[in-house]
Amino acid sequence: MNDKTKKLVIGALLCAFTTVATMVIKFPTPTFGYIHLGDGLVLLCGIVLGPIGGALSAGIGSMFADIFAGYASFAPATLIIKALTAALAGFIFHKANGALTKKTILSGIPSELLMVFGYFIYEVFLTLLAAQSNSASLFASAISASAVGIPFNLMQGIAGIIITLALLPILTKIHDIREWIFK
């Protein structure tokens, strides 16, 4: 099997694993969202497949999880946010120098902060859309209401980095994946 076919197969598997990891073990939050294990897979998608392949696998897998779990209103944003998260993780990881753990942390932190910011902006947008108004007081209220989700998204991001740190050494034992990661 050639390298492109292998990457396509691994990309499809990571997409499916991202969907499952997001849906199977989840902890509901007071903001009607949930903390899940999928962010670890989002980062792995970017690291293993690189920015473009990782963005596709992570974005599509995360979007399907939202659709299947009843969060369809978040699916378009999730596709974009998780794709950008994986792309940034893959880009930084492959440009960084140092040990595997250092590169994972250096790529994980800004990527997960991007995820937190992305959902904050989308929640502000949804609040304003639902209210069908653009007054300054509503905008301030939308920002305040959306800010409530930030700590929960930060916890999700931290969990994602920890999961990536746990799984990446295992994945590097697979010859082809090791070659892609350390190219």
Q: Which residues lie across from 35 on neighbouring strands?
A: 27
What's the pLDDT at 154?
95
17 vs 78: CA distance, rounded Å: 16
CA atoms within 13 A on the CB side of 87: 12
Domain span including residue 138: 3-181
- pLDDT at position 134 over 80: no
Q: What's the domain count of the chain?
A: 1
What's the pLDDT at 163?
95
The overall average pLDDT reported for the chain is 92
Quote the distance between the C-alpha of residue 35 and its chain's center.
Answer: 12
What percentage of the chain exceeds 90 in pLDDT?
Answer: 70
What pLDDT digit, counting tens, does each position of 17-75 carry?
A: 999 999 998 888 887 778 889 999 999 999 999 999 999 999 999 999 999 999 899 99
| Mean pLDDT, rounded, for 99-126 | 96
Beta strands in the chain (DSSP E): 26-28, 34-36
Q: What is the pTM of this model?
A: 0.93
The CATH number that applies at residue 116 is 1.10.1760.20
Higher pLDDT, residue 178 or 121: 121
What's the pLDDT at 82?
98
What's the pLDDT at 166?
96
If you compute the radius of gyration of the chain from its CA atoms, what whole number of angstroms results? 17
> Residue 108 has which token pair?
């994980």
What's the pLDDT at 93?
97
What's the pLDDT at 15?
98
Q: Dihedrals φ, ψ of 134, to 5°?
A: -130, 30
Dihedral sign from CA coordinates of 34, 35, 36, 42: positive
